[in-house]
Structure 1
Amino acid sequence: MSDPSAPARPRRILYGRRFGPRLRPQRKRLLDERLPELRLQVAPDRATAPRDVFPDGRPLWLELGFGGGEHLAAVAEAHPQVGVIGVEPFMSGVAALLGTIESRRLDNVRVVVDDARLLLDSLPDASVERIFILFPDPWPKARHHKRRLVNAETARACARLLVQGGRLELATDHMDYARAMLQALLPVDDLVWTATRPADWRTFPELGHPTRYEAKARAAGRPCVYLVFERRSGASSAKA
Protein backbone atom coordinates (compact mmCIF):
# COMPACT_ATOMS: atom_id res chain seq x y z
CA MET A 1 0.00 0.00 0.00
CA SER A 2 1.37 3.41 -0.89
CA ASP A 3 2.33 5.94 1.76
CA PRO A 4 -0.31 8.74 1.71
CA SER A 5 2.24 11.19 3.04
CA ALA A 6 4.58 10.60 0.10
CA PRO A 7 4.51 13.25 -2.64
CA ALA A 8 2.37 12.32 -5.63
CA ARG A 9 4.25 11.16 -8.69
CA PRO A 10 3.86 13.49 -11.67
CA ARG A 11 1.49 12.19 -14.33
CA ARG A 12 3.00 11.21 -17.64
CA ILE A 13 0.96 13.04 -20.24
CA LEU A 14 -0.35 10.65 -22.91
CA TYR A 15 -0.85 13.26 -25.57
CA GLY A 16 1.10 16.03 -27.24
CA ARG A 17 -0.24 19.32 -28.59
CA ARG A 18 -3.60 20.50 -27.21
CA PHE A 19 -4.19 22.96 -30.05
CA GLY A 20 -4.00 22.30 -33.77
CA PRO A 21 -4.33 24.94 -36.50
CA ARG A 22 -5.89 28.27 -35.58
CA LEU A 23 -9.58 27.85 -34.83
CA ARG A 24 -12.18 29.53 -36.97
CA PRO A 25 -14.24 32.22 -35.17
CA GLN A 26 -17.32 29.98 -34.95
CA ARG A 27 -15.38 27.20 -33.26
CA LYS A 28 -13.69 29.65 -30.91
CA ARG A 29 -17.15 30.90 -29.95
CA LEU A 30 -18.21 27.35 -29.15
CA LEU A 31 -15.21 26.91 -26.86
CA ASP A 32 -15.92 30.21 -25.14
CA GLU A 33 -19.69 29.81 -24.78
CA ARG A 34 -20.69 26.14 -24.89
CA LEU A 35 -17.70 24.36 -23.38
CA PRO A 36 -18.17 25.88 -19.88
CA GLU A 37 -21.77 24.56 -19.92
CA LEU A 38 -20.81 21.00 -20.88
CA ARG A 39 -17.35 20.60 -19.43
CA LEU A 40 -16.83 18.10 -16.62
CA GLN A 41 -13.91 19.11 -14.46
CA VAL A 42 -12.03 16.12 -13.02
CA ALA A 43 -9.37 16.43 -10.34
CA PRO A 44 -6.90 13.75 -9.17
CA ASP A 45 -8.01 14.08 -5.55
CA ARG A 46 -11.79 14.19 -6.06
CA ALA A 47 -14.25 11.42 -6.88
CA THR A 48 -16.75 11.89 -9.69
CA ALA A 49 -20.27 10.77 -8.76
CA PRO A 50 -22.32 9.83 -11.84
CA ARG A 51 -25.42 11.51 -10.36
CA ASP A 52 -23.47 14.75 -10.12
CA VAL A 53 -23.00 14.55 -13.89
CA PHE A 54 -26.48 13.29 -14.82
CA PRO A 55 -28.77 13.75 -11.80
CA ASP A 56 -31.52 11.49 -13.16
CA GLY A 57 -29.30 8.42 -12.73
CA ARG A 58 -29.38 7.47 -16.42
CA PRO A 59 -26.97 4.80 -17.75
CA LEU A 60 -23.46 6.13 -18.29
CA TRP A 61 -21.31 5.53 -21.38
CA LEU A 62 -17.77 6.79 -22.01
CA GLU A 63 -15.76 7.50 -25.14
CA LEU A 64 -12.05 7.98 -24.50
CA GLY A 65 -10.35 10.05 -27.18
CA PHE A 66 -13.33 10.98 -29.32
CA GLY A 67 -11.34 12.83 -32.02
CA GLY A 68 -13.82 14.97 -33.95
CA GLY A 69 -16.77 13.48 -32.08
CA GLU A 70 -18.45 11.81 -35.07
CA HIS A 71 -19.10 8.51 -33.29
CA LEU A 72 -19.89 10.07 -29.92
CA ALA A 73 -22.50 12.41 -31.37
CA ALA A 74 -24.13 9.60 -33.35
CA VAL A 75 -24.31 7.41 -30.24
CA ALA A 76 -25.71 10.23 -28.10
CA GLU A 77 -28.34 11.05 -30.70
CA ALA A 78 -29.36 7.39 -31.14
CA HIS A 79 -29.53 6.78 -27.37
CA PRO A 80 -31.02 9.91 -25.77
CA GLN A 81 -31.78 8.00 -22.57
CA VAL A 82 -28.03 7.48 -21.98
CA GLY A 83 -25.54 9.98 -20.58
CA VAL A 84 -22.32 10.07 -22.63
CA ILE A 85 -19.04 11.45 -21.29
CA GLY A 86 -16.41 12.09 -23.95
CA VAL A 87 -12.73 12.63 -23.22
CA GLU A 88 -10.49 14.51 -25.66
CA PRO A 89 -7.45 16.69 -24.88
CA PHE A 90 -7.27 18.41 -28.29
CA MET A 91 -9.32 21.59 -28.50
CA SER A 92 -9.91 21.33 -32.25
CA GLY A 93 -11.71 18.02 -31.73
CA VAL A 94 -13.65 19.40 -28.76
CA ALA A 95 -14.78 22.38 -30.83
CA ALA A 96 -15.94 20.06 -33.64
CA LEU A 97 -18.03 18.03 -31.19
CA LEU A 98 -19.52 21.16 -29.65
CA GLY A 99 -20.64 22.27 -33.10
CA THR A 100 -22.42 18.95 -33.63
CA ILE A 101 -23.99 19.08 -30.17
CA GLU A 102 -25.34 22.54 -30.95
CA SER A 103 -26.64 21.70 -34.42
CA ARG A 104 -28.33 18.48 -33.29
CA ARG A 105 -29.49 19.92 -29.97
CA LEU A 106 -28.00 17.10 -27.92
CA ASP A 107 -28.45 17.43 -24.17
CA ASN A 108 -26.94 14.13 -22.97
CA VAL A 109 -23.23 14.78 -23.55
CA ARG A 110 -20.54 16.02 -21.17
CA VAL A 111 -16.91 16.66 -22.09
CA VAL A 112 -13.64 16.12 -20.24
CA VAL A 113 -10.70 18.04 -21.73
CA ASP A 114 -7.81 16.21 -20.08
CA ASP A 115 -6.00 12.91 -19.71
CA ALA A 116 -8.51 10.03 -19.84
CA ARG A 117 -6.90 8.35 -16.82
CA LEU A 118 -8.12 11.15 -14.58
CA LEU A 119 -11.72 10.26 -15.34
CA LEU A 120 -11.10 6.51 -15.07
CA ASP A 121 -9.55 6.95 -11.64
CA SER A 122 -12.31 9.21 -10.34
CA LEU A 123 -15.42 7.17 -11.18
CA PRO A 124 -16.78 4.52 -8.78
CA ASP A 125 -16.78 0.77 -9.37
CA ALA A 126 -19.46 -0.68 -11.65
CA SER A 127 -20.76 2.73 -12.75
CA VAL A 128 -20.42 2.53 -16.56
CA GLU A 129 -22.32 0.43 -19.10
CA ARG A 130 -20.14 0.91 -22.18
CA ILE A 131 -16.68 2.29 -22.91
CA PHE A 132 -15.47 3.12 -26.43
CA ILE A 133 -11.80 3.54 -27.37
CA LEU A 134 -11.82 3.97 -31.14
CA PHE A 135 -8.69 4.44 -33.23
CA PRO A 136 -6.48 5.89 -30.49
CA ASP A 137 -3.08 7.24 -31.49
CA PRO A 138 -0.93 4.09 -32.06
CA TRP A 139 2.34 5.83 -31.20
CA PRO A 140 4.11 3.42 -33.58
CA LYS A 141 7.71 4.05 -32.50
CA ALA A 142 8.85 1.66 -29.77
CA ARG A 143 10.16 4.47 -27.57
CA HIS A 144 6.67 6.02 -27.58
CA HIS A 145 4.68 2.88 -26.70
CA LYS A 146 4.46 4.06 -23.10
CA ARG A 147 2.17 6.85 -24.35
CA ARG A 148 -0.44 4.45 -25.69
CA LEU A 149 -3.83 4.85 -24.06
CA VAL A 150 -4.64 1.13 -24.02
CA ASN A 151 -2.28 -0.65 -21.66
CA ALA A 152 -2.49 -2.97 -18.66
CA GLU A 153 -3.33 -0.11 -16.30
CA THR A 154 -6.24 1.26 -18.31
CA ALA A 155 -7.49 -2.27 -19.05
CA ARG A 156 -7.86 -2.95 -15.32
CA ALA A 157 -9.43 0.48 -14.78
CA CYS A 158 -12.04 -0.14 -17.48
CA ALA A 159 -12.85 -3.55 -16.01
CA ARG A 160 -13.37 -1.96 -12.59
CA LEU A 161 -15.76 0.65 -13.97
CA LEU A 162 -17.96 -1.63 -16.05
CA VAL A 163 -21.20 -3.04 -14.69
CA GLN A 164 -21.79 -6.78 -15.04
CA GLY A 165 -22.36 -7.42 -18.73
CA GLY A 166 -20.94 -3.99 -19.61
CA ARG A 167 -18.86 -3.69 -22.75
CA LEU A 168 -15.48 -2.27 -23.67
CA GLU A 169 -15.32 -1.64 -27.44
CA LEU A 170 -12.06 -0.84 -29.20
CA ALA A 171 -10.90 -0.28 -32.77
CA THR A 172 -7.58 0.30 -34.49
CA ASP A 173 -6.05 0.08 -37.96
CA HIS A 174 -2.57 -0.50 -36.55
CA MET A 175 -1.87 -4.25 -36.29
CA ASP A 176 0.94 -3.93 -33.74
CA TYR A 177 -1.35 -1.87 -31.51
CA ALA A 178 -4.14 -4.43 -31.95
CA ARG A 179 -1.81 -7.12 -30.63
CA ALA A 180 -0.75 -4.86 -27.76
CA MET A 181 -4.41 -4.24 -26.91
CA LEU A 182 -5.03 -7.97 -26.68
CA GLN A 183 -1.90 -8.46 -24.57
CA ALA A 184 -3.21 -5.83 -22.15
CA LEU A 185 -6.82 -7.02 -22.04
CA LEU A 186 -6.72 -10.81 -22.19
CA PRO A 187 -4.99 -11.24 -18.78
CA VAL A 188 -7.74 -9.24 -17.02
CA ASP A 189 -9.86 -11.95 -15.39
CA ASP A 190 -12.96 -9.76 -15.19
CA LEU A 191 -13.08 -9.26 -18.97
CA VAL A 192 -13.92 -11.79 -21.65
CA TRP A 193 -13.27 -11.29 -25.37
CA THR A 194 -16.57 -11.88 -27.15
CA ALA A 195 -15.10 -12.92 -30.52
CA THR A 196 -15.72 -16.51 -31.60
CA ARG A 197 -14.75 -16.21 -35.29
CA PRO A 198 -12.64 -13.90 -37.47
CA ALA A 199 -15.70 -11.97 -38.65
CA ASP A 200 -16.26 -10.83 -35.07
CA TRP A 201 -13.08 -8.75 -35.03
CA ARG A 202 -13.34 -7.62 -38.63
CA THR A 203 -16.64 -5.81 -38.16
CA PHE A 204 -17.78 -3.54 -35.34
CA PRO A 205 -21.29 -4.25 -34.06
CA GLU A 206 -23.60 -1.29 -33.54
CA LEU A 207 -20.97 1.29 -34.46
CA GLY A 208 -22.89 4.54 -34.43
CA HIS A 209 -20.86 6.30 -37.12
CA PRO A 210 -17.39 5.79 -38.57
CA THR A 211 -14.79 8.15 -37.15
CA ARG A 212 -12.65 10.22 -39.49
CA TYR A 213 -9.73 7.93 -38.65
CA GLU A 214 -11.67 4.83 -39.68
CA ALA A 215 -12.68 6.53 -42.92
CA LYS A 216 -9.04 7.42 -43.64
CA ALA A 217 -7.90 3.87 -42.90
CA ARG A 218 -10.50 2.34 -45.20
CA ALA A 219 -9.74 4.86 -47.97
CA ALA A 220 -6.07 3.90 -47.72
CA GLY A 221 -6.93 0.19 -47.86
CA ARG A 222 -5.78 -0.54 -44.32
CA PRO A 223 -7.76 -3.29 -42.54
CA CYS A 224 -9.33 -2.38 -39.21
CA VAL A 225 -9.53 -4.53 -36.10
CA TYR A 226 -12.55 -4.29 -33.78
CA LEU A 227 -12.33 -5.76 -30.29
CA VAL A 228 -15.27 -6.16 -27.92
CA PHE A 229 -14.75 -7.25 -24.32
CA GLU A 230 -17.52 -7.89 -21.82
CA ARG A 231 -17.47 -7.66 -18.04
CA ARG A 232 -18.02 -11.12 -16.64
CA SER A 233 -21.12 -11.63 -14.54
CA GLY A 234 -20.30 -12.15 -10.89
CA ALA A 235 -16.67 -11.01 -11.25
CA SER A 236 -15.03 -8.69 -8.80
CA SER A 237 -12.45 -6.35 -10.26
CA ALA A 238 -9.15 -5.59 -8.61
CA LYS A 239 -8.40 -1.91 -8.27
CA ALA A 240 -6.38 -0.47 -11.12
Structure 2
Amino acid sequence: MTDHPPLRSYGRLKSRPIKPRQAALVEARLPELRIRPGPVDPKALMPAATEAWLEIGFGGGEHMAAQAARRPDVLILGAEPFTNGVASAVRHIDEHGLRNVRLHDGDVRELTARLPDGAVARVFILFPDPWPKARHNKRRLIQPAMVAELARILRPGGRLRFASDWADYADQALELFTAHPAFAWAAARADDWRVPPADHVTTRYEEKRLGDCAPVFLDFVRG
Protein backbone atom coordinates (compact mmCIF):
# COMPACT_ATOMS: atom_id res chain seq x y z
CA MET A 1 0.00 0.00 0.00
CA THR A 2 1.33 3.45 -0.93
CA ASP A 3 1.49 6.08 1.81
CA HIS A 4 -0.26 9.30 0.93
CA PRO A 5 1.26 12.66 1.92
CA PRO A 6 -0.72 14.69 4.46
CA LEU A 7 -3.34 17.04 3.07
CA ARG A 8 -2.02 20.54 2.58
CA SER A 9 -3.34 22.64 5.48
CA TYR A 10 -2.70 26.01 3.85
CA GLY A 11 -3.99 27.80 0.77
CA ARG A 12 -2.11 29.92 -1.73
CA LEU A 13 1.67 30.19 -1.52
CA LYS A 14 1.97 33.69 -2.96
CA SER A 15 -0.30 36.66 -3.64
CA ARG A 16 1.14 39.96 -4.84
CA PRO A 17 4.64 40.27 -6.34
CA ILE A 18 7.36 40.89 -3.76
CA LYS A 19 8.86 44.37 -4.12
CA PRO A 20 12.43 44.43 -5.53
CA ARG A 21 13.95 45.84 -2.34
CA GLN A 22 12.30 43.19 -0.20
CA ALA A 23 13.18 40.45 -2.71
CA ALA A 24 16.83 41.52 -2.51
CA LEU A 25 16.68 41.38 1.30
CA VAL A 26 15.19 37.88 1.17
CA GLU A 27 17.89 36.75 -1.23
CA ALA A 28 20.59 38.13 1.04
CA ARG A 29 19.24 37.07 4.45
CA LEU A 30 17.02 34.01 4.04
CA PRO A 31 19.88 31.55 3.35
CA GLU A 32 21.41 32.33 6.76
CA LEU A 33 18.04 32.29 8.52
CA ARG A 34 16.70 29.13 6.89
CA ILE A 35 16.82 25.91 8.90
CA ARG A 36 18.97 23.50 6.95
CA PRO A 37 17.85 19.99 5.90
CA GLY A 38 18.33 17.08 8.27
CA PRO A 39 17.74 16.61 12.01
CA VAL A 40 17.16 19.88 13.87
CA ASP A 41 19.01 20.42 17.13
CA PRO A 42 17.93 23.74 18.67
CA LYS A 43 21.04 23.79 20.86
CA ALA A 44 23.26 23.60 17.80
CA LEU A 45 21.34 26.43 16.13
CA MET A 46 21.81 28.73 19.12
CA PRO A 47 24.05 27.29 21.85
CA ALA A 48 23.40 30.20 24.24
CA ALA A 49 19.60 29.84 24.08
CA THR A 50 17.84 29.03 27.34
CA GLU A 51 15.05 27.27 25.43
CA ALA A 52 13.40 27.02 22.01
CA TRP A 53 9.92 28.13 20.89
CA LEU A 54 8.02 27.32 17.70
CA GLU A 55 5.54 29.51 15.84
CA ILE A 56 3.46 27.65 13.28
CA GLY A 57 2.17 29.77 10.40
CA PHE A 58 3.76 33.06 11.44
CA GLY A 59 1.96 35.06 8.72
CA GLY A 60 3.73 38.39 8.29
CA GLY A 61 6.08 37.62 11.17
CA GLU A 62 5.13 40.52 13.43
CA HIS A 63 4.20 38.34 16.41
CA MET A 64 7.29 36.17 16.00
CA ALA A 65 9.61 39.17 15.71
CA ALA A 66 8.07 40.88 18.75
CA GLN A 67 8.44 37.75 20.87
CA ALA A 68 12.04 37.34 19.71
CA ALA A 69 12.82 40.96 20.59
CA ARG A 70 11.34 40.51 24.06
CA ARG A 71 13.28 37.31 24.71
CA PRO A 72 16.70 37.45 23.03
CA ASP A 73 17.71 34.46 25.17
CA VAL A 74 15.15 32.23 23.44
CA LEU A 75 15.59 30.61 20.02
CA ILE A 76 12.40 31.02 18.02
CA LEU A 77 11.73 28.66 15.13
CA GLY A 78 9.15 29.88 12.63
CA ALA A 79 7.36 27.89 9.94
CA GLU A 80 5.38 29.51 7.12
CA PRO A 81 4.81 28.32 3.52
CA PHE A 82 3.42 31.66 2.23
CA THR A 83 6.16 33.40 0.25
CA ASN A 84 4.97 36.93 0.99
CA GLY A 85 4.79 36.15 4.69
CA VAL A 86 8.35 34.84 4.70
CA ALA A 87 9.52 38.00 2.93
CA SER A 88 7.73 40.15 5.52
CA ALA A 89 9.26 38.16 8.38
CA VAL A 90 12.76 38.54 6.96
CA ARG A 91 12.20 42.29 6.86
CA HIS A 92 11.07 42.36 10.51
CA ILE A 93 14.07 40.27 11.55
CA ASP A 94 16.47 42.53 9.67
CA GLU A 95 14.94 45.79 10.90
CA HIS A 96 15.07 44.70 14.55
CA GLY A 97 18.52 43.13 14.27
CA LEU A 98 17.23 39.82 15.63
CA ARG A 99 19.75 37.03 15.99
CA ASN A 100 17.52 34.43 17.66
CA VAL A 101 15.10 33.50 14.85
CA ARG A 102 15.38 30.65 12.34
CA LEU A 103 12.89 30.02 9.54
CA HIS A 104 11.38 27.07 7.73
CA ASP A 105 9.70 28.31 4.56
CA GLY A 106 7.44 25.31 4.05
CA ASP A 107 4.98 22.93 5.68
CA VAL A 108 5.55 22.82 9.43
CA ARG A 109 5.10 19.06 9.44
CA GLU A 110 8.37 18.80 7.53
CA LEU A 111 10.03 20.67 10.40
CA THR A 112 8.40 18.93 13.37
CA ALA A 113 9.36 15.54 11.95
CA ARG A 114 13.01 16.61 12.25
CA LEU A 115 12.79 17.85 15.84
CA PRO A 116 13.69 15.54 18.74
CA ASP A 117 11.28 14.70 21.55
CA GLY A 118 10.81 17.55 24.03
CA ALA A 119 12.75 20.01 21.87
CA VAL A 120 10.58 23.09 22.41
CA ALA A 121 9.17 24.89 25.44
CA ARG A 122 6.39 26.85 23.72
CA VAL A 123 4.29 26.55 20.58
CA PHE A 124 2.18 29.32 19.03
CA ILE A 125 -0.56 28.56 16.49
CA LEU A 126 -2.26 31.89 15.89
CA PHE A 127 -5.20 32.19 13.52
CA PRO A 128 -4.36 29.28 11.21
CA ASP A 129 -6.22 28.88 7.93
CA PRO A 130 -9.77 28.04 9.12
CA TRP A 131 -10.98 26.17 6.03
CA PRO A 132 -14.52 27.20 7.06
CA LYS A 133 -16.47 25.09 4.56
CA ALA A 134 -17.43 21.77 6.10
CA ARG A 135 -16.08 19.78 3.16
CA HIS A 136 -12.67 21.42 3.70
CA ASN A 137 -12.44 20.92 7.48
CA LYS A 138 -10.18 17.91 6.92
CA ARG A 139 -7.51 20.33 5.67
CA ARG A 140 -7.26 22.12 9.00
CA LEU A 141 -3.88 21.91 10.66
CA ILE A 142 -5.26 20.76 14.00
CA GLN A 143 -6.00 17.07 13.57
CA PRO A 144 -5.31 14.14 15.95
CA ALA A 145 -1.98 13.32 14.26
CA MET A 146 -0.78 16.91 14.58
CA VAL A 147 -1.83 17.10 18.23
CA ALA A 148 0.17 13.93 18.92
CA GLU A 149 3.20 15.36 17.11
CA LEU A 150 3.01 18.58 19.11
CA ALA A 151 2.81 16.56 22.33
CA ARG A 152 5.98 14.76 21.25
CA ILE A 153 8.09 17.86 20.55
CA LEU A 154 6.88 19.86 23.57
CA ARG A 155 8.83 19.31 26.76
CA PRO A 156 6.97 18.45 30.00
CA GLY A 157 5.57 21.67 31.42
CA GLY A 158 5.74 23.33 27.99
CA ARG A 159 2.88 25.49 26.82
CA LEU A 160 0.92 25.69 23.58
CA ARG A 161 -1.29 28.58 22.50
CA PHE A 162 -3.97 28.20 19.83
CA ALA A 163 -5.98 31.24 18.72
CA SER A 164 -8.80 31.50 16.21
CA ASP A 165 -11.68 33.79 15.30
CA TRP A 166 -13.75 30.92 13.90
CA ALA A 167 -15.97 29.43 16.60
CA ASP A 168 -16.15 25.89 15.27
CA TYR A 169 -12.39 25.71 14.78
CA ALA A 170 -11.81 26.87 18.36
CA ASP A 171 -14.30 24.21 19.52
CA GLN A 172 -12.57 21.57 17.41
CA ALA A 173 -9.12 22.49 18.72
CA LEU A 174 -10.32 22.47 22.33
CA GLU A 175 -11.88 19.05 21.86
CA LEU A 176 -8.80 17.53 20.21
CA PHE A 177 -6.23 18.94 22.61
CA THR A 178 -8.16 18.04 25.76
CA ALA A 179 -8.78 14.54 24.38
CA HIS A 180 -5.03 13.94 24.27
CA PRO A 181 -3.66 12.76 27.64
CA ALA A 182 -0.56 14.95 27.36
CA PHE A 183 -2.46 18.26 27.31
CA ALA A 184 -4.38 20.11 29.99
CA TRP A 185 -6.36 23.30 29.30
CA ALA A 186 -4.97 26.10 31.45
CA ALA A 187 -8.17 28.21 31.63
CA ALA A 188 -9.74 28.85 35.03
CA ARG A 189 -12.35 31.46 34.01
CA ALA A 190 -13.97 32.85 30.86
CA ASP A 191 -11.57 35.78 30.53
CA ASP A 192 -8.74 33.28 30.14
CA TRP A 193 -9.95 32.52 26.62
CA ARG A 194 -11.86 35.71 25.81
CA VAL A 195 -9.14 38.24 26.68
CA PRO A 196 -5.79 38.25 24.86
CA PRO A 197 -3.01 36.93 27.13
CA ALA A 198 -0.67 39.52 28.60
CA ASP A 199 2.19 38.47 26.34
CA HIS A 200 0.12 38.34 23.15
CA VAL A 201 1.06 40.51 20.16
CA THR A 202 -1.82 41.45 17.87
CA THR A 203 -1.26 40.44 14.26
CA ARG A 204 -2.43 42.09 11.05
CA TYR A 205 -4.68 39.13 10.32
CA GLU A 206 -6.28 39.37 13.75
CA GLU A 207 -7.07 43.05 13.21
CA LYS A 208 -9.00 42.25 10.02
CA ARG A 209 -11.64 40.32 11.99
CA LEU A 210 -12.42 37.97 9.13
CA GLY A 211 -13.87 35.21 11.29
CA ASP A 212 -17.33 34.64 12.72
CA CYS A 213 -16.53 35.36 16.39
CA ALA A 214 -14.26 37.40 18.62
CA PRO A 215 -10.75 35.93 18.91
CA VAL A 216 -10.53 32.91 21.21
CA PHE A 217 -7.22 32.15 22.96
CA LEU A 218 -6.68 28.59 24.18
CA ASP A 219 -3.58 27.89 26.28
CA PHE A 220 -2.59 24.29 27.01
CA VAL A 221 0.07 22.83 29.30
CA ARG A 222 2.05 19.73 28.38
CA GLY A 223 1.89 17.23 31.22
1:89-144 CA-partner distances (Å, limit 9, x unpaired): 01101111111111110000000011111112211111110000000010001121
CA distance 1:35–1:89, shift in 2 (3 Å): same
CA distance 1:223–1:57, shift in 2 (3 Å): closer
Question: Equivalent of 2:11, from 2, 5, 16?
Answer: 16
Question: Equivalent of 1:226, from 208, 217, 220?
Answer: 217
- Counterpart residue identity of residue 110, structure 2: L
Name 1:33's counterpart in structure 2: 28
For normalisation by structure 1, the TM-score amounts to 0.87
- Counterpart residue identity of residue 162, structure 1: L
- SS class of match (2:132): coil
- SS class of match (1:192): strand
Correspondence 1:137 to 2:122: no
Correspondence 1:178 to 2:195: no
Contact 1:68 1:97 in 2 (8 A): yes
Correspondence 1:158 to 2:150: yes
Question: Equivalent of 1:72, from 41, 44, 64?
Answer: 64
Shift of 1:58: 3.2
Name 1:3's counterpart in structure 2: none
- Counterpart residue identity of residue 108, structure 1: N
- SS class of match (1:186): helix
Shift of 1:51: 2.3
> Structure 2: which 5+ runs fail to align?
none
> Structure 1: which 5+ runs fail to align?
1-5, 233-240
- SS class of match (1:34): helix
2:36 and 2:172 map into 1 onto residues whose CA distance is 30
Name 1:86's counterpart in structure 2: 78
Contact 2:42 2:75 in 1 (8 A): no
1:201-228 CA-partner distances (Å, limit 9, x unpaired): 112323342011211129x894110000
- Counterpart residue identity of residue 228, structure 1: D
Contact 2:48 2:73 in 1 (8 A): no
Percent of aligned pairs with the same amino acid: 43
- Counterpart residue identity of residue 139, structure 1: W
Name 1:236's counterpart in structure 2: none
Contact 1:127 1:161 in 2 (8 A): yes
1:135 and 1:13 map into 2 onto residues whose CA distance is 16
Question: Equivalent of 1:146, from 108, 131, 138?
Answer: 138
- Counterpart residue identity of residue 137, structure 2: H
Name 1:60's counterpart in structure 2: 52
Alpha-carbon RMSD across the aligned residues, in angstroms, is: 1.8
Question: Equivalent of 1:121, from 113, 118, 124?
Answer: 113
Shift of 1:57: 4.8
Correspondence 1:189 to 2:181: yes
Number of equivalences: 223
Contact 1:67 1:88 in 2 (8 A): yes
- Counterpart residue identity of residue 137, structure 1: D
1:168 and 1:122 map into 2 onto residues whose CA distance is 19
CA distance 1:221–1:12, shift in 2 (3 Å): closer
1:75 and 1:230 map into 2 onto residues whose CA distance is 19
